[in-house]
Amino acid sequence: MGLIAPDIERLKKGKKISELVQCLDHPRASIRYDAFIALAGNPDINEQIKNKLKNMMYRDPDSSVKTLATIRYAKLGDPEISDNLIQIIQEGSQKSKLELLRIITDSGASSDVTVLYIIQTGLNDDNVLVRLQAIKAANSSKNKQLMPDLGKLLHENHFKVRLMAAKALYNLDKYESAGYIIGLLADKNLEVQSTTRIYLLSIINDRAFYALNDDSSAYPDGAMDAGMLFHGETQRKSAKEIVNEGISILHGACNDKFRGVRVQALKSIAVFKSQTSIDIAEKLLYDKFPEVRLEALTTLEKIGGPRALAAIENKPRDKKKIVRDSIDRTLARMKKVQ
């Protein structure tokens, strides 16, 4: 005849702490598991009971009980429980993986080998929720070793993953992130595009814009950070190369079949104010959608110069009054500054 299973819920409600402690040694793992939860959430247990609960991280024969104890009492960086933590991220349930990654996220900066391995494994997990939490953990870790792993997530199907990965890369090292996130200027998702534009604007500052239009290789004093950006671990790129790469991507996006992408590409092109973009913007003055034509007009005005002015002046009369009126106002403003 089998043992009668103790009623853990009844013991918990009755605050039968000594009986719950006895249940931690029950032969059935499910009883030990439930007793652990009941005791771990009780603020009145003494240090002796807490130590018994903690020891279950090392001694309990059941993996689910060991996982629960590890997540509840884990001290990151403790070599004695490294194997437990790795087992959780490799083989644990989604809930266990998420709990472990939340602990790591809350723990902040880390260079611990086990912690970094757990984050890397989470970034490559099949479950999107685990990957998202791993991105948060990577961001919190402040460890640049994770940048290549985050860079791979910029190609994810889910826009939220791309968006959060870009944010983490930027936070880990804003200058080094430029080489990773530059391609997101042509992302299909408008939020990803606009967020990337904001990041790049803070990276490629006025000194970098100066470098774009300067034939010499010298940068203004103090421009080292903005003038030398990194891509990956070995390839260095100047600010001029980074900007030109971004402009090339944006020029390609101006041919996208979605008008929203074309509009966003024009907005980004206007930020860089490169004379090399005039022909691209001029072509979109003839786009079939008036909102694209208006954005092309705004872009040409922001780029400025005689060629941009001529591109607008040479455009035949637009069939839409709103575009025609906008052209007249734009030409008047541009001629004042010539």
Per-residue pLDDT of the chain (338 residues; tens, 9 = 90+): 346 788 988 998 888 999 999 999 998 888 888 888 888 778 888 989 888 888 887 788 887 787 777 777 766 566 767 887 888 899 888 988 898 898 888 888 989 898 899 999 999 999 999 999 999 999 999 999 999 999 999 999 999 999 999 999 999 998 888 889 888 888 889 889 888 877 876 665 434 444 444 444 333 333 223 233 333 333 445 666 767 777 887 888 888 887 887 888 898 888 888 899 999 999 999 999 999 999 999 999 999 999 999 999 999 999 999 999 999 999 999 998 87
Q: Which fold, 92-172?
A: Leucine-rich Repeat Variant (1.25.10)
Q: Are 274 and 305 in contact (CB under 8 A)?
A: no
Q: Which contacts (CB < 8 Å, 24+ apart) does range 40-44 have?
A: 40/72, 42/12, 42/15, 42/17, 44/15, 44/17
Q: Are 235 and 226 in contact (CB under 8 A)?
A: no
Q: Give one DSSP letter per residue of 23-49, joined into a string.
A: HTT-SSHHHHHHHHHHHHT-TT--HHH
Q: Residue ranges of the domains in the chain?
A: 1-73, 92-172, 180-255, 273-338
Q: Which CATH number fits domain 273-338: 3.40.50.300, 1.25.10.10, 1.10.287.1080, 3.40.50.2300?
A: 1.25.10.10
